Amino acid sequence: MASLTPTEPAVTTEEHAFEPRPYANPYLAGIGLGLVLLSAFVFMGRGLGASGAFNSTIAWLLSLVAPGYAASNEFLARYLDVPGHPLKAWLVFEVLGVFAGAVLSGVLAKRMSRTVEKGPRASVTLRLGFAFLGGFLMAFGAALGRGCTSGQALTGGAILNAGSWIFMMCFFGGAYGAAWFVRRQWR
Amino acid sequence: MNAPLYKFGAFGDETSLVVAFVIGIGFGWFLERAGFGNARKLMAQFYLTDMAVFKVMFTAVVTAMLGVTYLAWAGWLDLSLVYYVPTFWVTAIVGGLLMGVGFVIGGYCPGTSVVSMATGRLDGLVYVGGFTAGTLGFALGYPAFRDLLAMGDLGVLTLPEVTGVSWGIVAFAVVLMAVGGFAGATWVERWMTAKADPAARAD
Amino acid sequence: MYGWLCKLGLNRTLGLLAILLGAGALFAQVEPDRTVTVHEAALLTAHARGEDHVAPRELAGWIVEGRADYRLIDLRDETAFGEYHVPTAENVPLTSLPEYGLLRNEKIVLYADGDLPAAQAWLLLRGRGYRGVYTLRGGLDAWKDQVLFPEMPESPSPEEQARFEKAAHVAKLFGGQPRAAATGGEAQLLDMSALQAATPAVSAPSLPAAGGSRARNRPREGC
């Protein structure tokens, strides 16, 4: 029962709460993911990631607009101080692959959908506003934590990196702690 | 076999980018298969009705961990050549908490946001925009964070090193925790779903 | 058994499999232990093919070229290292070698005054699974003899002359001095302190600092 909101006629919204969808068995998906991660260790001696690709991209974009500043920015300089093009970074290509793999799976499972995922009590505007805010906050979280869930929790978790396990536990703690406060967005 | 292959010169930098792309495809595929391109599926974890996030994440960790353990034991994988993010316990806590809070606000993490955007979700796209803006914001405000980032530097540190217990014991403990957690998670799912809506389809 | 697993269901079977593999992992040894395993055939082949050493002139070439893909290890004590060491060398006395933190995929060149400590270190590292390990053939003595103070051959042919001139040029880069054949025997007594004074020339921009391979831009590996 999709409803059309007046401001965004081209977008439909799913109003059902946590309806089971025909997704894969989580354990099988997890094994698949684990094997992908293992292959990264075996082939490259590193794990997966995502936030690093954003860092490289921002560094490169900034270098186009303000090259002097970009090169002197302590955080971004290391993404520019590389032998080749800043976008020829391992994570950038990995994230492009993530996009491709997601499209592949989504198309084959007929799960491609121009929609906004949100709970029944939230408006599209609220959801989109929060999506932006959440992304913004997590960029800081990832930069401070030196990784995101794929880099720290998954990768570091698998190789028993102490810092990663601390990160992982705080991640779940923070999420569960804040969930009640934003329940209106989802339930 | 000499793994990590790249570090023993099996292939060069250009090829490693192709490897990155292919590995990324696998990563994106399984994330989408698990339903992680959908914020509602991800968020259900934190309202206890669908524990897929926990199940997928820890199954992946256990799988890769056992793989690394056996390959290193067989002498095929040189663990000393695998990259470890150094442990900075202060930012591990601060960053982790911030990521968790941001997760339930934003609905995605950077990896899953790409999956979401790729499968057409507008909120995924907006999240990516927010994350990008945040990255820029952090870069611009970097001097303010410099001290925080340097705190609690413990260097490269593994759980076996911290606990003084062998790798194998830690690995076994992780497996037991995960399997026990899965059983508990499934029980919680059933209980919550039945409680919330007795007429709903069981998982 | 299959029937029983079927009855158990996929998820429970996976769980059981995980526990079994986890139990197996209890006995895993992921850090290489302290034993040195000697593979006869591998060692003898390396020797036969001359893959176990690097000539001083070759090393000099690497340093001049500014190559950063090797690690040069000086196995002597601190004092000796302080008096003179080959540029780009890192001082790691033999006794501290195992803990030093050399990676198995690095190219490592070992030297001491003579050949013996380097040969011992070579065996130690090869036995712990290191692949690209080499001794500096002839040690520091050969380095002084061939690179720092190359000897002019008596009545040289044009090629020998050309080679000597090249060697003389390299010698000067390292603060050394070519010598005529007649004074060959006195090479060892040459005043090394004069070389110390010349050392600043050796750390000229064309010659990289020690541990050059680490300074090279490694691709980022974090998240």
Residues B77-101: tens digit of each pLDDT: 999 899 999 999 999 999 999 999 9
Residue in B56, B81, B130 nearest the CB of A133 = B130
Cα distance from C3 to chain A (closest Cα, Å)?
Answer: 21
Look up residue B201 and give its DSSP letter.
P
- Alpha carbon of B172: minimum distance to chain C alpha carbons (Å): 5
- Does C222 or C129 have the greater pLDDT score? C129
In A11-161, which ranges are continuous DSSP H helix? 26-44, 51-65, 67-72, 74-80, 90-108, 124-145, 157-158
Q: Is A20 on the interface with C (CB under 8 A)?
A: no
Among partner residues A84, A160, A169, which is closest to B159 by beta-carbon distance? A160
- By mean pLDDT, which of B166-170, C59-63, C204-208 is the weakest? C204-208
Q: Show residues of chain C in contact with B171, CB under 8 Å.
A: 22, 25-26, 28
Q: Name chain C contacts of A49, Cβ cutoff 8 Å.
A: 222-223
Chains with 3 or more CB pairs closer than 8 angstroms to C?
Answer: A, B
Report pLDDT digits (tens) over B161-183. Answer: 999 999 999 999 999 999 999 99
- Quote the pLDDT of residue C72: 94
Q: Given this model, what pLDDT does residue C214 score?
A: 41
Structural domain includes residue B169? no
User: Strand A12-14 vs strand A3-4: parallel, antiparallel, or unpaired?
Assistant: antiparallel
B20 CA to centre of own chain: 17
User: Measured between alpha carbons, how far is residue C193 from residues A70, C81, C89, C150 in Å?
Assistant: 47, 13, 19, 18
Rounded to a whole number, what is the distance in Å from the CA of B14 to chain A's nearest CA? 9
Q: Are B34 and A26 in contact (CB under 8 A)?
A: yes
Maximum CA extent, chain A: 53
Q: Are residues B74 and B92 in the same domain?
A: no
Q: Which residues of B92-125 are buried (b: 16+ CB within 10 A; e: fewer)?
A: bbbbbbbbbbbbbbbbbbbbbbbbbbbbbbbbbb
B3, β-bridge pairs: B77
Cα gap A6→B109, rounded to integer Å: 29
Between positions 130 and 149 of C, the ones with CB within 8 A of B are: 131
- Hey, is B120 helix, strand or coil? coil
Q: Output the average pLDDT for chain C.
A: 80
pLDDT (average), residues C191-219: 44
Same domain, B109 and B70: no
Which amino acid appears at position C61 of this protein? G
Q: What are phi and psi of A2, to 5 degrees?
A: -75, 145
Q: In the structure, what pLDDT confidence band is assigned to residue C202 with cuts at 50, 70 and 90? A: very low
A155 touches C: beta carbon within 8 Å:
yes
Say which residue the tokens 């006869």 belong to: C40
**Residues B76, B92: one domain?**
no
Check pLDDT > 80 for residue B55.
yes
Q: Are residues B72 and B1 in the same domain?
A: yes
From C30, C129, C219, residue closest to B69, measured CB to CB: C30
Q: Give the minimum alpha-carbon distance from C165 to chain A in angstroms, rounded to a whole number.
A: 36
Q: What is the pTM of this model?
A: 0.85
Whole-angstrom CA distances from A13 to A182, B40, B112, C69, C202 are 19, 12, 19, 57, 71
E strand spans, chain C? 53-54, 70-74, 89-91, 107-111, 133-136
**DSSP per position, C170-216:** HHHHTT---B-GGGGGGGGGS-HHHHHHHHHHHTSTTSPPTTHHHHS
Q: What angle (nearest 5°) sits at the alpha carbon of residue A66, between those of residues A60 and A70?
A: 55
Which has the higher per-residue pLDDT, C153 or A129? Answer: A129
Average pLDDT over residues B5-18: 91
Q: How confident is the model at residue B198 (pLDDT cuts 50, 70, 90)?
A: low
CB contact under 8 A, C220 and A147: no
In chain A, which residues have pLDDT < 70?
A: 1-21
Here the tokens at position C71 are 């690690």
pLDDT at B196 > cutoff 60? yes
Mean pLDDT over C3-21 rounds to 89
Same domain, B47 and B113: no
- Domain encompassing residue B201: 1-83+185-203
What's the rounded Cα separation, in Å, for the pair B56 and A170? 18
Interface size, chain B vs chain C, as Cβ–Cβ contacts under 8 Å: 76
Task: Check residue A30 and give its pLDDT.
Answer: 96
Taking an 8 Å cut-off on Cβ atoms, the answer to whether B72 and C219 are in contact is: no
3-state helix, strand, coil in chain A (%, to 5): 65, 5, 30
Sheet holding A12-14, edge to edge: A3-4, A12-14, A115-117
Q: Which residue ranges make up each domain of chain C?
A: 40-143, 148-202
Residues in chain B: 203
Tell me whether residue B166 is in a domain: no
Asked if pLDDT for residue C206 goes beyond 70, the answer is no
Write the CB contacts of B45 (distance below 8 Å, at least 6 apart in sequence): A175, B51, B52, B53, B54
- Residue of C11, C221, C223 lying closest to A148 (CB–CB): C223
**CB–CB contact B97 A42 (8 Å):** no
Nearest CA in chain B to C22: B172
| Pair (B132, B194) in one structural domain | no
Rounded Cα distance, B63 and A84, in Å: 34
Chain B CB contacts of A11 under 8 Å are: 122
Q: Based on the structure, what is the number of domains in chain B? A: 2
Across B97-123, average pLDDT: 95
* A 163-182 near B (Cβ less than 8 A): 163-179, 182
CB–CB of C28 and B70 under 8 A? yes
- Average pLDDT over every residue of C99-107: 87
| pLDDT for position A4 | 38
- Residue C148 to residue B82: CA distance in whole angstroms: 40
Residue B6 DSSP class: G
Q: How confident is the model at residue C18 (pLDDT cuts 50, 70, 90)?
A: very high
- The pLDDT of residue B84 is 94
Q: What CATH superfamily classification does C40-143 receive?
A: Rhodanese-like domain (3.40.250.10)
CA of residue A74 relative to chain centroid, distance: 24
Across the range C63-83, mean pLDDT stands at 91
- Average pLDDT rounded to a whole number, residues B124-136: 96
| Predicted-assembly ipTM surpassing the 0.90 threshold | yes
* pLDDT given at position B199: 61
The answer, yes or no, to whether residue C102 has pLDDT greater than 80, is yes
CA distance C193 to B35: 72
pLDDT: which is higher, C178 or A70: A70
CB B90 within 8 A of CB B152: yes
